[in-house]
Amino acid sequence: MMRFAPFAGLALAAVLLAACAPAVPRAAAPPAESSAAADPSSPPPSSSEALATPSRDAAAPAAAFALNAAPRVVTEKLVAPWSIAFHGDSALVSERDTARILEVQRDGDVREAALIPGVLHEGEGGLLGLAVREGFLYVYSTGSGENRIERYPMTGEPGALGVGQPEKILDGIPASHNHNGGRIAFGPDGMLYATAGDAGEGGLARDLGSLGGKILRMTPDGEVPEDNPFPGSLVYSYGHRNPQGIAWADDGTMYASEFGQETWDELNVITPGGDYGWDEEEGIAERDGMIDPILQWPPSEASPSGIAIVGGTLYMANLRGARLRAVPLADPDAAVDHLVSEVGRIRDVALAPDGDLWILTNNTDGRGAAGEDDDRILAFAPE
C-alpha cells in the first residue's frame, strides 16, 4: 500500500497508459535529472533556493511511452549494471562488480570503454553512478574504506570512446557493505549532486560534520558552492538513510528516491538544508523541522533505485518488487506500476537522446533470478 502526503505540485496533466498494473488506491495520510535528469545548459537559478519549491504554474507536456508493448532489446548479458549516462549518441554503462564502463551504441554494439582502477566490490559497493559533462566522465565508486568521486577526460569518438587519467573530485564519503548511495547527476544549476548513504551507521545521517546520509552539492571541480545551505559544507540535505535516484522537473524542483529500513520507502522533494528525518523517523512523521515524503510505500512492495523525469511524469526503477513506477508529479497518488515481475529487478531508467525510455535490469547482482540473457537494456518508444 502506498501512502501519500498531499502535495501541491506542478499544474500538469499526466498521461498514463491502460493495460498496466492498476493504480494503488489512495490511503489516508497526514496533511503535509539520469545523469540525464537535467539539461546542464539550462540557465542556472539565482541560488540554491530556486530549487526548493515546486512551481504551481508550470505547463510542460506530460510524456507517455508504450510500456505495454514489447520493448526493443538494446543489449544483453551485462554483469550487475548500475548506471546509464549518455555521451552524444552513445550510452556509458557502469558494471558494479567488474569495474568496467561499457560503451553501448543504439544498435546494441557493446565494447569496454574503460576499467576503473582501485574499485573494491563488496556487497552493494563497487562501480556505481556515472555523469557526463563538458567532455568529462564523472564516476562514483567504492575504494579502500571510502566512496569517492573522480572525473576522467573522455577520449576518442563514438564507437571508440575511452578515458584519460583520473582527477579526484571528492573522497572520504563513508562506505560499507551496504548503504553506499552512489547516484550522481548535474542539476539545472550546473552543480554536481551526489547521494551518499549512511554506510550502515544511522547516526551519520544527522551529523552535519559527516558526508554520510546526505545529498551533496558541489561545483564540477568538487568545491563548495557559495550558495550551499551550510557555509563551507557540501551538505545540501541530510537525514537520509540510503538515497538513490535524483532528478529535476522542468521547473527545477529536485526529487529523490530513498531506501527505507523496514517501514517505508520514500519519494521526496529535496529542499536546500532540509532534514529528512533519518535515523529518528521513517516516512511521514509530521514532526516540526522535518520534511515528509510526498509518497511512501512498504519496502516489501517496491525498493526504489534510479529515477528519470520526462514531461510531467517521474519514472522510478524498482529492485525489490521488480517494476517501473510512473508517478505524475501533479498528482502523485495517481501512480501506476508497469512491467510488474516481467523483466525482473530494475536498477536505472534514463531518457535516451532519440527520445526512447531506457531501463536497465539488475538480475545478476546476487539478489535477482538471472535469466539466460540478463542483464539487459530495454528501450520503450514514445506513444
Residue 133: pLDDT over 50: yes
Largest Cα separation within the chain, whole Å, is 55
Contact 169/150 with Cβ under 8 angstroms?
yes
Of 37-41, 233-237, 273-277, 361-365, the range with the lowest mean pLDDT is: 37-41
Residues 169-228 have pLDDT tens digits of 999 999 999 999 999 999 999 999 999 999 999 999 999 999 999 999 999 999 999 999
Contact 162/113 with Cβ under 8 angstroms?
yes
* Tally: H helices and E strands in the chain: 0, 26
pLDDT in the model for residue 13: 32
Measured between alpha carbons, how far is 94 from 107 in angstroms, rounded to an integer? 18
DSSP letters for 321-361: TTEEEEEETT-GGG-EEESTTTS--EEEEEE-TTSPEEEEE
Residue 55: pLDDT over 80: no
Average pLDDT over residues 367-374: 95
Residues 88-131 have pLDDT tens digits of 999 999 999 999 999 999 889 999 999 999 999 999 999 999 99
- Please give the torsion angle defined by the CA atoms of residues 68, 70, 74 and 78, in that order, rounded to the nearest 10 degrees: 80
The residue type found at 197 is: G
